[in-house]
Structure 1
Amino acid sequence: MTKTRTFRTLGILIALAVYLLSIATISPAGAETASVPVTVTAAPTTGLVDGSTVTVTVTAGSSVIYGIEARQCSSAGAIDYIADFSPTVSGKCTPTALGSAGADAFKTVTAVSPYSTATLTFKVGKGTSGSFSLQSGGTATVQCDETHACKLTLLLQVAGGTVFQSFPLGWDGMGARFNPVTPVRILDTRTTNTPTGVAGQVPDGGTLNLQITGANGIPVDATAVVMNVTAVLPTGAGFITVWPRGVTQPLSSNLNFVPGDVVPNLVTVGIGSNGQVSLYHQGGTNDLIADVVGYYSPVNGDYFTAVTPVRALDTRAGTGAALARVAQGGEVSLQITNANAVPANATGVVLNVTAVSPDAAGYVTVYPNGVTRPLASNLNFVPGDVVPNLVIVGIGTSGKVNLFNANGTIDLVADIVGYYSPDNTAKQFYPVTPVRALDTRNGTGGVSAPVGQGASIDLTVRGANGIPAGASAIVMNTTAVTPNAASYLTAWPTGVTRPLASNLNYVVGDIVPNLVQVGIGSNGKVSLFNNAGSVDLVADLTGYFA
């Protein structure tokens, strides 16, 4: 027994010596993880405040863990490990004292028996005048707070080699930037592409918890997701609510439908606990589809600039394309950059796209020019419809996006409401738990009657419902409820001339939602105009840009 323990201790000491010597010649710059069987998790990594405790769990399977070091890194990009884990080289990362390591910031933490797992806890601090508070009581020159993204980076030595793992840290109140992705289908209950791997309609009153981060190319640092959600052939009238998992289900809705509908709507929603969002369904049974088109991250991405809505495409008038309906299987390639105030360096665009009077049931897919058309849809329609949907899409080659029509012939209209670019003087996104800001049926938002023909209402945004004075634009799901005439709704920043644009189109008796992303006027308000008849309006805020 004594000899066995002695040999085991000697083996660990030899391995530690090898580990310490290896620090000067470790993995090439930029490598995030070596290929050895080690699993590393850290939580929480978002919503952090000064003094938060982060717990790191390391599991090496049958491998022995010989040592762990950690660094707090001011860079949100790839880490240069050769510099950052050498005691003699000044890198971008500062040694961080781990909970069991005492005050020695360079101390290697050794796992306890059986040496294949380790649980470490340490505290993080906000940057104050360029400093970062270590758990040991010292300070270092790492800025890490609401406006400075940073990383926790770990070096682990195991029997199979050296492992590097890093975790972006997101602070409470940290803004996020947009990253477009080629649309990818993450949910389709008609197939086995579901959280349980089993096909089947969602029952009345049913909830799905949908994994967002760590899947389909969405990183763990994402704080909000943008996805097109479609209700397919519901058996009853009802609605869908999407919200961050782990918080109380809000009084809000994202889709409204009647039996037999195929109804899409764009959803921008904060990501909740376990990197998931929840979808609640009420009204008969229903199939649901979700296509991710992008995500927001505090670590990387592009900034948003709102514009007064401008009509970039109207095939009925020859604006932006030929004066002709789009044929079955046809595409419109729409110029985005260097037109309609969108600069050459824009990477993504926000469009309100409307399908007008199709002569067959079908769908439209919007995607970046120059890539393979994805298995996704942005609008679904039946003959005679006038159907809008907000579209956020990456800009492709030659500064263009493509609009594909699957069936029949159709006219297409597209209004630009904003764009994304690397310009860091533009705005970042702050998700909020959905909150009802307007309901003319009960006076929420200051209006307690339907909006009449040719009338506008002004909704106070800044200083209400948690929207700060510095907000420049909002994201809200806006719903037209039981209009008494066919009409359309326009949303725009209060104080400027109402643009030639529309956000919702509806007919008598409809309940029609559409996501609206719109700049806030100089008086802190947005205006909503109803063209004909009268209609009740409901608006649920899901976030803002500042």
Structure 2
Amino acid sequence: MKRAMAATTTLLVSGLGAVHAGPASASVALPTAVTRTAAGNYLPAAPTRLVDTRIGQGAPIGSVDTGESVTVRAAGVAGIPATGVRAIVVNLTAVKARSRGWFTAFPSGTSLPATSTLNFRAGWTGSVTATVPVGADGTIIVRAGAGGADLLVDVVGWYAGTGSTQTGGTLLSPQDPYRLDDTRYNKGALSSGSTRVEEFGFYDSAGSRLKAVVANITAVAGSTSSGYLTTWSGTGTRPATSTLQYARNEVSPNTTNVPVTYRGVDALGNSRYSFGITAIGAGSVDVVVDIAGFYTTAADGVGSVFVPVTPTRLVDSRFGLGTTKAARGTNSTTNLLVPGHLVNTRTQAFVGNLTGTRATTGTHLTMWSGTAPTDSSTTNVAPNRERANGTVVVTPRNDDNTRLRYSVYNRYASCDFIVDMTGRFDTSPDQPAGAFSSKRIVSHKSYPMPTR
């Protein structure tokens, strides 16, 4: 069954979406203090599969092919209210792609943006997590810009909108990526069917305020391994969803929001939390975990709220969009500025996609504030393939205090990269601009979940 064809036409380039440059304009300041509302607060959802085109769940049976689109109901499902929803956080999976292409997710009722959300190649199965603003009718659109694949959509959380009366929301404290675990050097690979518990101490003496973390989960599969990982709170029944798919001899990343379980206070007065990672597949798989932010209750007022922007392509090194036209070489760092019209004086971070392409050898790219070295990665790219991953990027002021900056690092030569932005995080409106949380992870241990 054919799906609705989007009417908007864009210039398609090299399987990674369209070339697009937004206009520049001056930054706009927000008030320094207002009454707090629920708007922009994050709330975890029970991980739920909304669409599976293999079986006709939430959409007609069959691959989503070039120009076809799927409308995904975001409001009023999986415990999300029917109104007052600003954006949803969804995991998109392309299954056994028929040909090379990409999906773009965007709010209904808006024009198709010149960006890509998930890139795929023929025969490939893989995932990306995206934060997608919700249209006025409570839905989002997922469109195939090229190629074709079956589509899975799993929802993991949502952001409250203007006028929402929802309670229990959380604020984001973004940070540069911090490596929490790497099973290659700690406890060994996960066997199929096993769950690894990641438990950590958190500098939060009030206790039980952390509700979720922003975690980049990377699967490092061996020569015989393929399957999927599911990240979850580790409490109760494991959800029937997947976080990322991995293939033999492939490094597969995906950044997502993971709910945590509160475990009480340790002897030093630090709260302890944990979450689980379950592996399902053929053979064992190593897993790397990088933390890029914390969602805590708004009780202490320090943190940031989500503000949607029109999905925008910020950088494409293939064409000189937003940076010098050139592939990046080994150990290279590209310093970048966020366009002024997309942010303001309260912006702490943005959320979007980093895509690597045209790599001449296997490499990894890292997108971060650029203020200090980091041992973490954002996306891993195989030779002559594309790989996208979403992330939260801290954006400090540049040296002359006029613009917000960030950086992209390439480990090995040679590789091009693309940056797409879908939203930003601004200091909670009732706090002074620049108010920043000092919460942090202070200890960590990893262990197998006991079998029941």
* Distance in 2 (alpha carbons) for counterparts of 1:500 and 1:360: 25
* Residue aligning to 1:188: 52
* AA at the equivalent of 2:67: G
* Residue aligning to 1:378: 243
CA contact (8 A) 2:171 2:303 kept: yes
Structure 2 residue 179 is the aligned partner of structure 1 residue 283: no
Q: Report deviation, 1:427.
A: 0.5
CA contact (8 A) 1:435 1:540 kept: yes
* Residue aligning to 2:411: 531
Structure 2 residue 331 is the aligned partner of structure 1 residue 472: no
CA contact (8 A) 1:363 1:381 kept: yes
Larger relative CO (CA 8 A, sep 6+): 1 or 2?
2
Q: What SS does the corresponding residue of 1:242 show, helix, strand or coil?
A: strand
CA contact (8 A) 2:46 2:78 kept: no
Kindly provide the CA deviation profile for residues 281-317 of structure 1, in whole angstroms up to 9, marking residues without a partner as x: 1334321000000000043410000122111111111
Q: Report deviation, 1:534.
A: 1.5
* Distance in 1 (alpha carbons) for counterparts of 2:126 and 2:397: 35
* AA at the equivalent of 2:183: T
CA contact (8 A) 2:359 2:384 kept: yes
* Residue aligning to 2:369: 493
| Alignment equivalent of 2:397, drawn from 505, 519, 522 | 522
Structure 2 residue 262 is the aligned partner of structure 1 residue 400: no
* Distance in 1 (alpha carbons) for counterparts of 2:419 and 2:35: 29
* Distance in 2 (alpha carbons) for counterparts of 1:384 and 1:233: 17
Q: Report deviation, 1:224.
A: 0.2
* Distance in 2 (alpha carbons) for counterparts of 1:532 and 1:342: 44
Q: What SS does the corresponding residue of 2:304 show, helix, strand or coil?
A: coil
* Distance in 2 (alpha carbons) for counterparts of 1:243 and 1:493: 26
Structure 2 residue 177 is the aligned partner of structure 1 residue 309: yes
* Residue aligning to 1:93: none
Aligned residue runs from structure 1 range 5-404, under 5 A: 149=37, 175-195=39-59, 198-219=60-81, 220-298=83-161, 299=164, 300=166, 301-318=169-186, 323-338=187-202, 345-358=209-222, 359-398=224-263, 399-404=273-278
* Distance in 2 (alpha carbons) for counterparts of 1:467 and 1:206: 32
| Alignment equivalent of 2:357, drawn from 478, 481, 484 | 481
* Distance in 1 (alpha carbons) for counterparts of 2:99 and 2:316: 24
* AA at the equivalent of 2:173: T
Q: What SS does the corresponding residue of 2:58 show, helix, strand or coil?
A: coil
Q: Identify, as 1 or 2, the structure richer in strand.
A: 2
* Distance in 2 (alpha carbons) for counterparts of 1:421 and 1:338: 11
* AA at the equivalent of 1:368: S
Q: What SS does the corresponding residue of 2:225 show, helix, strand or coil?
A: coil
* Distance in 2 (alpha carbons) for counterparts of 1:242 and 1:208: 9
Structure 2 residue 295 is the aligned partner of structure 1 residue 427: no
* Residue aligning to 1:157: none
CA contact (8 A) 2:354 2:367 kept: no
Structure 2 residue 386 is the aligned partner of structure 1 residue 511: yes
Aligned in 2, Cα 1:284/1:226: closer, same or farther, shift over 3 Å? Answer: same
Q: What SS does the corresponding residue of 2:113 show, helix, strand or coil?
A: coil
* Residue aligning to 1:63: none
Q: Report deviation, 1:356.
A: 0.8
CA contact (8 A) 1:489 1:530 kept: yes
* Distance in 2 (alpha carbons) for counterparts of 1:146 and 1:226: 27
CA contact (8 A) 2:45 2:80 kept: no
* Distance in 2 (alpha carbons) for counterparts of 1:148 and 1:240: 36
* Distance in 1 (alpha carbons) for counterparts of 2:138 and 2:67: 23
* Distance in 2 (alpha carbons) for counterparts of 1:339 and 1:531: 32
User: Alignment identity in percent?
Assistant: 29
Give unpaired runs (5+ residues) of structure 1.
1-144, 151-174
* AA at the equivalent of 1:486: G
Q: What SS does the corresponding residue of 1:324 show, helix, strand or coil?
A: coil
Q: Report deviation, 1:242.
A: 0.5
CA contact (8 A) 2:190 2:196 kept: yes
* Distance in 1 (alpha carbons) for counterparts of 2:205 and 2:385: 34
* Residue aligning to 2:439: none
* Distance in 2 (alpha carbons) for counterparts of 1:206 and 1:418: 35
* Distance in 1 (alpha carbons) for counterparts of 2:252 and 2:287: 10
CA contact (8 A) 2:208 2:262 kept: no
* AA at the equivalent of 1:425: V
Q: Report deviation, 1:182.
A: 2.5
Q: What SS does the corresponding residue of 2:140 show, helix, strand or coil?
A: strand
With normalisation by structure 1, the TM-score equals 0.65
RMSD across aligned positions (CA): 2.2
* AA at the equivalent of 2:43: N
With normalisation by structure 2, the TM-score equals 0.78
Q: What SS does the corresponding residue of 1:404 show, helix, strand or coil?
A: strand
Query: Which structure has the larger Rg over C-alpha atoms?
Result: 1
